[in-house]
Each structure stands twice: as C-alpha cells, then as structure tokens.
Amino acid sequence: MAASTLGAANKRRMQEILKVLWREYPEAECSLHYGTPFQLLIAVMLSAQCTDDRVNLVTPELFRVYPDAESMAKGDLEVIRHLIRSINFFNNKAKALFETSKLLVERHGGTVPDRMEDLIHLRGVGRKTANVVLGVGFGIPSLVVDTHVGRLSRRMGFTKSSDPVKVEHELVKIVPKENWTEYAHLLIAHGRKICTARKALCDECPVRQYCPKVGVVRR
C-alpha cells in the first residue's frame, strides 16, 4: 500500500478506535492529585516508575509542607527525602524536586513555564513529564507516550518503534491534534484494564475489530 493510502487508512482506524474508547472510558483523565501546575509537575516527576496511587498517598503531606516552588526551593533536602521515602528512587527524585524548585524560582519567578523547551531544561523533567504538564496543566494539546501508550500503539499497528520520542512523532501525524492529550488518558485506561503488559484480553476488547494485535501471543 502507498504511504499516503496507509496514512489515510490509519487515520480512519484511529478515529474508530477513539470513538470506542471514549464510550468505554468517558471519565478517563490524569489520575494524579494536584492543585496547581507546580504540584502537577512534582506529582508527575514522582510518578516515574511508580504508581499514581502511591504518589497520591505521598503528595498531600508533601504539598502541605511545600505547596509551591518558593517554599520547596527554600526547604530542606532531608525533609523532602523523608516525605517521599515510600516512592521508588526517592533519593534521586528528592534531589530533582529540590533542584527543579530552585530553577523555577531563579529562571521563571517561581511559576511553571508553559513551553516544552523551558520544561525539559528543568532537573529530572523529560519530554513525557513536560507533555503531561502542558496537556493536563495548561490545556495545550500534547501527546504523552508512557509505557501503556507505547505498548498499545504498537499492538494496534500505529508504530513499530519502542523509542517514545519516535512514537510521539508518528502518532501526532494520525491522532487529531484536539485529541492528543486525551489519547494518552484513553490508552492508559485501556492498558490498565484490557490490554495489559502481562496479557492482552483481545476476546473481551471493544476495539478488536480495528486492531491487528501486533505481537500478541494467543494462548
């Protein structure tokens, strides 16, 4: 099939899959708890290789003690470390939270910037974290590629790559821009419930008719 024909077919298939997933997961949204863009940024940084539920257990007390960049930048690294000690890699994450708070105060007047190029220059903030902050915190269409989004997009035949940046660049060509942010929310919900890393429950899957099930081992 010619590349342009394949691209058009993938766009149509994507639309059908999105329609079904919207019906299945009308409440799909970011599951991290936060009150401000700063708190969202901190929660997303903590969520790397850790569950959102665990992060949500830790952040109420963390944000009570350090509600904003100024207070965390003036805070005590040992206290941050203690407050997040139940999170994976808490030592490195505490340093990143402390340094990023200082950078926010020094470079951005204590506010979280709303540009990718500024966000990724903060300590411990990669493209995925920046995309969550832009999409969820600022309402700027942003396509997050986490482990669920990458796995499902490969199984659905929308990419062959396991490099999140390449996957993102391929997906933005076929997901309508107005749906970039919710695409991740829907795929994460579906990846947790039906198309899990351990097993793809294709027989129960509402998008099975649109999915080529790439790499799925049927038992």
List of residues contacting ligand SF4 (CB under 6 A): 152, 155-156, 194-195, 200-202, 205, 207-208, 211, 213, 216
**Smallest gap from residue 203 Cβ to ligand SF4 (A):** 8
Question: What token pair was written down for 28?
Answer: 């799909």
Identity of the residue, 102 or 155, whose beta carbon is nearer to ligand SF4 in the bound complex: 155
Residue 146: active-site member: yes
Question: What token pair was written down for 80?
Answer: 């941050």
DSSP the chain: --HHHHHHHHHHHHHHHHHHHHHH-TT-------SSHHHHHHHHHHTTTS-HHHHHHHHHHHHHH--SHHHHHTS-HHHHHHHTTTSTTHHHHHHHHHHHHHHHHHHHTTSPPSSHHHHTTSTT--HHHHHHIIIIIH--------HHHHHHHHHTTS-----HHHHHHHHTTTS-GGGHHHHHHHHHHHHHHTB-SS-B-GGG-TTGGG---TTPPP-
CA 54 to the chain's CA centroid: 16
How far apart, in whole angstroms, are the C-alpha atoms of residue 218 and residue 171? 26
Identity of the residue, 28 or 83, whose beta carbon is nearer to ligand SF4 in the bound complex: 28
Identity of the residue, 111 or 196, whose beta carbon is nearer to ligand SF4 in the bound complex: 196
CA 145 to the chain's CA centroid: 6
Identity of the residue, 117 or 203, whose beta carbon is nearer to ligand SF4 in the bound complex: 203
- Dihedral sign (CA 129, 132, 138, 143): positive
**Smallest gap from residue 205 Cβ to ligand SF4 (A):** 3
From the candidates 118, 146, 166, 213, which is the catalytic residue? Answer: 146
Identity of the residue, 64 or 198, whose beta carbon is nearer to ligand SF4 in the bound complex: 198
Active site residues: 128, 146
